[in-house]
Structure 1
Amino acid sequence: MLRQLHGLPGLLAALLLVTLAATGAVLALAPAMDRAAAVIPAAGEVSVAELAGRVVEHYPGTEQIVRGPSGGVIVYYSRDGQPGADLVSPLTGEGIAPYEPSAFFTWVRDLHRSFLLDDAGRMLAGAVAAVMLLLCISGTLLLVRRSGGWTALLRPLPGSGGKRIHAELARFAVLGLLLSALTGSYMAAQRFGLLPETSQIGPAFPAEVAGGQPAPVATLSALSKVDLRELRELVFPYPDDPQDVYSLTTSDGFGFVDQATGELLKYQSRSEGSVIQQWIVSLHTGEGLWWLGLILGAAALTVPVLSITGITIWWQRHRASEQLPDNADVSQAEAVILVGSEGNTTWGFARALRASLHQAGLRVHCSEMNALADHYPQASMLLVLTSTYGNGDAPASARRFMARLSEFREGKALKYAVLGFGDRQFPNFCQFALDVDAALARKGLSRLHSVELIDRCCASQFSEWGDRISELIRTPFSLTYDPLPSPTVKLELVERSDYGLAVQAPTSILRFEAAEQRGWPKFLPRARKALPSFEAGDLLGVIPPQGQAARFYSLASSSTDGVLEICVRKKPGGLCSGYLHDLKPGDRIDGFLRHNPDFRPAVGNTPVILIGAGAGIGPLTGFIRKNTKGNPMYLYWGGRNSQSDFLYQPELGRYLEDNRLTGLNTAFSRSDERAYVQDKLRQDEIAVRQMVRTGAQILVCGGRDMAEGVKQVIDEILKPLPVDVETLRAEGRYLEDVY
């Protein structure tokens, strides 16, 4: 409900909101410009009497002196029967420049106040201000929910893309927009009688005036007691009328001054309502508070971007929530997909999964988690894809799931798997997915696969999860879905090194450069494009010919190395690995980069323990290559045979010599020692434990089985310490890149 309350008014009024904000941002410049053009004396330096005396010397026909909210002094005068107005210096009374309101600012002000439509436009502008007020309040509440509470509102916001931009800008601008919307709505409500309007009736014209010879204005005592900074307006008496008086308006009130005696005849202080009214105007326009005007203008400039990102987010949700084609009936479905989503991002993954299962010949029913049926009579598989909202809460389409689960009648043949979507920057990463997995287990359902968690909509993790589900149900299908597809880059293979043929584990190190342009004239220098920016540990996505899903390979180089390097083992029947292994120098491929900032060695001189097997050595070697400062870095790596598949052997030798690599420990499973990397860790358990005690970070890269074995060994090594792998993982000291 809160999201609809925020989104629908914003969509309907987007263009008007942008117009109101853009014109407001322009008008916010006026107070600062006026302030810059004005001469501002120090407090107590110039009295109103001194100012008036100086002005009259240069403008004998002075009729009125006005001090604007920004401090500029304007004199209105008559000369040779012609009226005029000048901006003057209060220190000398001399003119600075003719004063004439800007036609541009006047037009912008009319557009801002009434959309150039008079009273009807003013009513519309007031309504738009009320919509802005509603958006600020509802947006703040949504931001609090997204951040995980009021106390987390000032912390760095997690997430990425348009949602992150929208949230960050909203957090920056909300106070300024709230102030503008609140004061604008208040003034509009007063204008049209919805709130009482404050009126200030000045004092009556004095009955007794001395009527003597007028004294020079600079000598009038009442005006001498008023500091220039308090002046708002001084109206001169009519010439040759001894019964007329000076009308004085200050920041505190109104009064009359006898032009002969200089006596203050009558004075009336401003009412509280008038003061409040003036403050509301100042807070809305920045008049008299030029610095506030700039802040409000900066806040207003965010509205066009907020509108664009907001509409984009709405459109993405709208497309994701469209009806699914060929959705099987609950009673006939063989596979059921339930979706928990707050912003509908998870729906895109669910659609890809449903389409793949449907193409594989299964009858699939897909719906939101809130629509959990009492029973799925034909289903053997329940797949739950859910995000987590805020501080571990259920997303919008899953808030009734736990309650409905109590009425669910599980079938003996029904097995389930939960896939969580989230962002590791949040303190409760995928917590709701974990809660759902536990609740389904308590209900008595059998797991098809243990719960898995996907970080920041990672397409490669989703594809790999699909491969494992495909194997478990013995139904071939592949998943390919990327909510934020990356632009491809044309790569040319320039070098390759081949290993492992003798032990039936062909593995190649492939080095690519950005492909030079085709059709370039031979008499001109070659035009080779620069590689995009990337770091070792990032991912290269490759879609092979006749392939649908991208396969991802960890990068063993950084863009500063001048080449894009991957280490690929050829898998039996592997479509993409076979395609890459068949490449020859000069061949070209299309690939795209996916940044992987969560798999990086720590910066500093704390020890880094690198653990890998097989092709997993690729990114680990890339980390070592970048360790030019010689920070302590230890590599444990396992292969099959030192004579056949000792990957990167020459490079690692050089890195040991120049101290980029502190220690190297290898294990070969098809040699006389028949050792695995886990065995080498056990042999060095005292050293490993000591390094962890002093703050070491562990990075693991390679196959899933190897990674699980390494985790078990590390837990055994750490038993004497008050930490385990999960503790290190939570501290960012145990990172994995497994496949």
Structure 2
Amino acid sequence: MLRKLHGLPGLVAALFLVVLATSGVVLSVVPTLERSAATVPAAGELSVADLAEHVVANYPGTEQIARSLSGEVVVYYSRDGQPGADRVNPLTGKGIAPYQPSAWFRWVKNLHRSFLMDDAGRILAGVLAALMVLICLSGAFLLARRLGGWKAMLRPIAGSGSPRIHAELARFAVIGLLLSALTGSYMSAVRFGLLPEGTITELSFPAEVSGGTPAPAGSLSALKSVDVNELRELVFPYPDDPMDVYSLSTAQGSGFVDQATGELLQYQPRSAGSKFQHWMARLHTGEGLWWLGLILGLAALTVPMLSFTGLQIWWQRRSSAISLGESASIEAADTVILVGSEGNTTWGFAKDLQNKLNQAGKKVHCAPMNDLAEHYPQASVLFILTSTYGDGDAPSSASQFIARLEHFQADDGLKFVVLGFGDQQFPKFCQYAQDVDTALRSKGLKQMHPLTRIDRGSATQFQEWGEAISERMGIPLALTHNPAPAVTSEFELVERVDYGVAVNAPTSILRFKPVKSERKLWQKLLFQNRQNLPDFEAGDLFGVAPPGDRAARFYSLASSASDGILEICVRKQTHGICSGYLHSLKPGDRISGFIQKNPGFRPAGGATPIILVGAGAGIGPLAGFIRKNTERNPMYLYWGGRNPQSDFLYRPELGCYLDDHRLTGLSTAFSRSAEKNYVQDAIIADEPALRQLVEAGAQILVCGGRDMASGVRQVFDSILKPLNLDVEELRNDGRYLEDVY
């Protein structure tokens, strides 16, 4: 619900909000421009009487003196029967330049206030301001929920791409945007009578005026008592009329001044409501508060990018729920398909299953697992198709499923089938699917078919599962979905550095360059500095399929595209087909591969301390992170190997990184050295220092084998206990990331 409150108004109003924000950015510089051009006397340096005396000496036909909140003083006068207006220096009264309001800024102000459509436009602008309040508040709550609470709002934001850009910009701008939206909403509500207007009493002309000989303006006591910085407007009496008076308006109130005696007549202070309304206008425009104007302008400057990234996120989510055709209602469906997916691949299998069930005459309701209903009154079969995220966790579209299952009411005739998707290389292959299967059986539901696991999106296994389901249901069900193959590029091995042979753990650092392909002129110009490399960052994955095998294996990248090379660190596994293939390569040999993004494994930006933990070939992406740390932010590496003489991976590079301070500290442990230490032991040795780093907001990234990662989690749970924290809390805050295999 909260996401809809945030996203729907943004989608509907995006274009108009961009117009409001862009025009607001232009107007936000006006107070600064006016302030930079104005001469502002110090408090107590100049009275209104002094100002009037200086101005009249230079402009004998002065009719009015006006002072803006930014300090700009304008005199309106008559000379030789012709009216005029000049900006003047308040200290001397001399003219600076003719006063001519900018037609450009006036047009932008009308665009900002009313979209150039008078009252209808003003109503639209007011509605948009109210929508912006809703967007800001809902966005703040969503961000706090994502980061793990309001206290975590200043902590690093995990992730990459549009979601992270959107979150970072929103965190930076939300206060400024909320202030602009609230004040804009208030001003619109007052204008159209939805809120009471601040009372401004209209003063009547004074009943008694001395009528004596007018005294010089500089000698009038009422004007002498008012500092020029309080002045808003001084209207001069009509010439040769001794019964007329000065009209004085200040920040505190207004009144009349007898031109002969200098007495203040019928002074009326501003009401509290009037002052409040005045300050709301200042907070919205920045008038007289040039620094606030710039802050609000910077906040408004983010709106076009927030709109763009918000639309991208919406489109990605819309695309993720692949068009599944017409879905039957919950009440009418006799078959239900629920999908758990992180990278959207599972939706393709669900679409094929739904289409084939529809063709067989079934009424199918298809939805994310998070949308599990409390009851499906007509359903006889419940299909669960789910992937597994990370170390056996639920994918994003299934994160609430187990909790919602507690309230699920199943009829006796409802049977379920769970189909898991994963990669058999990982020990917790389809673990979440197994957890769901167990939970459904614990709920008392009956299995129609045993849990089936699909390895690496195998079309053959999916087809075989469909044949089994077809027999169970007694309907034709020829499933044919085959995920689209990844687009591969060709790479040539240019360098390899070998380690670990002496300790029976051969590990190689392999560096590839892209094989140049023929390109059109525009492509050469656009990509001339990228050397044909696809876009990637350290921590992303490189997919390689060995000859004769369609199934790709994935290796964490130790380089970024900007490095000009593609680098991986690979240990040769016993009977490992792909690792054996890679280890057989010689410089000059070529392979085909593709990039798979891994945005969930990235160090936070800025000065956040980073603690890197790895073992064996898991050092690859960690070395890549250190290489990119050109700003020399605090970064500490804990790494474990077997023997320092044989398999100290990246030893020369790490020495250089320590020397140039891209790496702040290095702690190693070797299991086949005299000390026989593991990386967990190196972490325990630095327990006090690590606890201080975590307390200061440090982020922890772990890469390597699953057993190592499990041991490291236990160690950090022990270290964090005195802080009333644990690894799970850090994980929820995006401060504990793992890439394990």
Say whether the fold is shared (TM-score over 0.5): yes
Deviation, structure 1 residue 13: 2.0
Deviation, structure 1 residue 165: 2.2
Alpha-carbon distance between aligned partners in 1 of 2:496 and 2:10, rounded to the nearest angstrom: 55
Alpha-carbon distance between aligned partners in 2 of 1:256 and 1:717, rounded to the nearest angstrom: 79
Seen in structure 2, the aligned counterparts of structure 1 residues 654 and 27 have a Cα distance that, compared at 3 Å, is: closer
Alpha-carbon distance between aligned partners in 1 of 2:683 and 2:422, rounded to the nearest angstrom: 32
Alpha-carbon distance between aligned partners in 1 of 2:18 and 2:713, rounded to the nearest angstrom: 57
Q: Deviations over 1:86-135 (max 9, x none)?
A: 11111111111211110001111111112111222222222222222332
The answer to whether 1:350 aligns with 2:346 is yes
What is the SS of the residue equivalent to 2:206? coil
What is the SS of the residue equivalent to 1:49? helix
Q: Deviations over 1:517-565 (max 9, x none)?
A: 6599xxxxx9993868978765323467998765322346788696635
Instruction: Provide the residue aligned with 1:610 in structure 2.
Output: 615
Gaps of 5+ in 1: 421-430, 453-461, 521-525, 639-645, 666-676
Query: AA paired with 2:175?
Result: L
Deviation, structure 1 residue 281: 1.6
Alpha-carbon distance between aligned partners in 1 of 2:594 and 2:141, rounded to the nearest angstrom: 42
Residue 510 of structure 2 contacts residue 568 of structure 2 at CA under 8 Å; is this kept in 1? yes
Query: AA paired with 1:32?
Result: T
What is the SS of the residue equivalent to 2:243? coil
Residue 669 of structure 2 contacts residue 677 of structure 2 at CA under 8 Å; is this kept in 1? no
Q: Which has the higher contact order (CA 8 A, sep 6+)?
A: 2
Alpha-carbon distance between aligned partners in 2 of 1:625 and 1:127, rounded to the nearest angstrom: 49
Q: How does 1:648-727 map to 2 (within 5 A)?
A: 691-695=682-686, 701=704, 707-708=706-707
Q: Deviations over 1:248-306 (max 9, x none)?
A: 11111111111112122221112222222212221222222222222222222222122
Query: AA paired with 1:540?
Result: F
Query: AA paired with 2:278?
Result: Q
Residue 158 of structure 2 contacts residue 600 of structure 2 at CA under 8 Å; is this kept in 1? no
More off after superposition, 557-566 vs 443-452: 443-452
Residue 387 of structure 2 contacts residue 395 of structure 2 at CA under 8 Å; is this kept in 1? no
Deviation, structure 1 residue 174: 2.4
Q: How does 1:123-142 map to 2 (within 5 A)?
A: 123-142=123-142
Q: Deviations over 1:384-424 (max 9, x none)?
A: 45889xx999979859832454536698995675989xxxx
Deviation, structure 1 residue 81: 1.4
What is the SS of the residue equivalent to 2:302? helix
Residue 610 of structure 1 contacts residue 698 of structure 1 at CA under 8 Å; is this kept in 2? no
Seen in structure 2, the aligned counterparts of structure 1 residues 543 and 107 have a Cα distance that, compared at 3 Å, is: farther
Instruction: Provide the residue aligned with 1:641 in structure 2.
Output: none
Query: AA paired with 1:106?
Result: R
Seen in structure 2, the aligned counterparts of structure 1 residues 224 and 346 have a Cα distance that, compared at 3 Å, is: same
What is the SS of the residue equivalent to 1:74? strand
Seen in structure 2, the aligned counterparts of structure 1 residues 395 and 618 have a Cα distance that, compared at 3 Å, is: closer
Seen in structure 2, the aligned counterparts of structure 1 residues 637 and 302 have a Cα distance that, compared at 3 Å, is: same
Alpha-carbon distance between aligned partners in 2 of 1:374 and 1:596, rounded to the nearest angstrom: 41
Alpha-carbon distance between aligned partners in 1 of 2:181 and 2:637, rounded to the nearest angstrom: 55
Instruction: Provide the residue aligned with 1:592 in structure 2.
Output: 595
Residue 337 of structure 1 contacts residue 385 of structure 1 at CA under 8 Å; is this kept in 2? no
Instruction: Provide the residue aligned with 1:120 in structure 2.
Output: 120
Alpha-carbon distance between aligned partners in 2 of 1:171 and 1:383, rounded to the nearest angstrom: 36
Instruction: Provide the residue aligned with 2:253 in structure 1.
Output: 253
Instruction: Provide the residue aligned with 2:12 in structure 1.
Output: 12
Alpha-carbon distance between aligned partners in 1 of 2:95 and 2:669, rounded to the nearest angstrom: 83
Alpha-carbon distance between aligned partners in 1 of 2:134 and 2:736, rounded to the nearest angstrom: 45
Alpha-carbon distance between aligned partners in 1 of 2:713 and 2:236, rounded to the nearest angstrom: 90
Instruction: Provide the residue aligned with 2:428 in structure 1.
Output: none
Q: How does 1:358-437 map to 2 (within 5 A)?
A: 367-369=367-369, 370-371=371-372, 382-385=384-387, 398=401, 401-407=404-410
Instruction: Provide the residue aligned with 1:236 in structure 2.
Output: 236
Identity of aligned residues (%): 48
Seen in structure 2, the aligned counterparts of structure 1 residues 319 and 223 have a Cα distance that, compared at 3 Å, is: same
Alpha-carbon distance between aligned partners in 1 of 2:627 and 2:270, rounded to the nearest angstrom: 75
Seen in structure 2, the aligned counterparts of structure 1 residues 574 and 730 have a Cα distance that, compared at 3 Å, is: farther
The answer to whether 1:636 aligns with 2:642 is yes
Alpha-carbon distance between aligned partners in 2 of 1:624 and 1:40, rounded to the nearest angstrom: 52
Alpha-carbon distance between aligned partners in 2 of 1:182 and 1:376, rounded to the nearest angstrom: 49
Deviation, structure 1 residue 491: 2.5
Alpha-carbon distance between aligned partners in 2 of 1:407 and 1:736, rounded to the nearest angstrom: 37
Deviation, structure 1 residue 58: 0.8
What is the SS of the residue equivalent to 1:13? helix
Residue 514 of structure 1 contacts residue 528 of structure 1 at CA under 8 Å; is this kept in 2? no
What is the SS of the residue equivalent to 1:293? helix
* Number of residues of Structure 1 aligned to a counterpart in Structure 2: 668
Q: Deviations over 1:298-346 (max 9, x none)?
A: 222222122222222222233333542599999xx99986235xxxx74
More off after superposition, 533-542 vs 120-129: 533-542
Q: How does 1:48-447 map to 2 (within 5 A)?
A: 48-324=48-324, 338-339=338-339, 346=342, 348-354=344-350, 367-369=367-369, 370-371=371-372, 382-385=384-387, 398=401, 401-407=404-410, 439-440=439-440, 442-443=442-443
Seen in structure 2, the aligned counterparts of structure 1 residues 329 and 310 have a Cα distance that, compared at 3 Å, is: closer
Instruction: Provide the residue aligned with 1:564 in structure 2.
Output: 567
What is the SS of the residue equivalent to 1:247? strand
Seen in structure 2, the aligned counterparts of structure 1 residues 256 and 536 have a Cα distance that, compared at 3 Å, is: closer
Query: AA paired with 2:279?
Result: W
TM-score, length basis structure 1: 0.71
The answer to whether 1:553 aligns with 2:555 is yes
What is the SS of the residue equivalent to 2:209? coil
Seen in structure 2, the aligned counterparts of structure 1 residues 247 and 450 have a Cα distance that, compared at 3 Å, is: farther
Alpha-carbon distance between aligned partners in 1 of 2:155 and 2:701, rounded to the nearest angstrom: 28
Alpha-carbon distance between aligned partners in 2 of 1:658 and 1:528, rounded to the nearest angstrom: 25
Alpha-carbon distance between aligned partners in 2 of 1:227 and 1:44, rounded to the nearest angstrom: 6
Seen in structure 2, the aligned counterparts of structure 1 residues 126 and 610 have a Cα distance that, compared at 3 Å, is: closer
Query: AA paired with 1:77?
Result: Y
Alpha-carbon distance between aligned partners in 2 of 1:113 and 1:77, rounded to the nearest angstrom: 31
Instruction: Provide the residue aligned with 2:427 in structure 1.
Output: none
Query: AA paired with 1:402?
Result: L
Deviation, structure 1 residue 14: 1.8
Deviation, structure 1 residue 22: 1.3
Instruction: Provide the residue aligned with 1:523 in structure 2.
Output: none
Residue 539 of structure 1 contacts residue 596 of structure 1 at CA under 8 Å; is this kept in 2? no
Residue 158 of structure 1 contacts residue 164 of structure 1 at CA under 8 Å; is this kept in 2? yes
Query: AA paired with 2:405?
Result: M
What is the SS of the residue equivalent to 2:176? helix
The answer to whether 1:45 aligns with 2:45 is yes
Deviation, structure 1 residue 516: 4.5
Seen in structure 2, the aligned counterparts of structure 1 residues 175 and 584 have a Cα distance that, compared at 3 Å, is: closer
Deviation, structure 1 residue 376: 7.9
TM-score, length basis structure 2: 0.71
Residue 66 of structure 1 contacts residue 234 of structure 1 at CA under 8 Å; is this kept in 2? yes
Query: AA paired with 2:314?
Result: W
What is the SS of the residue equivalent to 2:86? strand
Seen in structure 2, the aligned counterparts of structure 1 residues 280 and 436 have a Cα distance that, compared at 3 Å, is: farther
Query: AA paired with 1:278?
Result: H
Alpha-carbon distance between aligned partners in 1 of 2:342 and 2:678, rounded to the nearest angstrom: 44
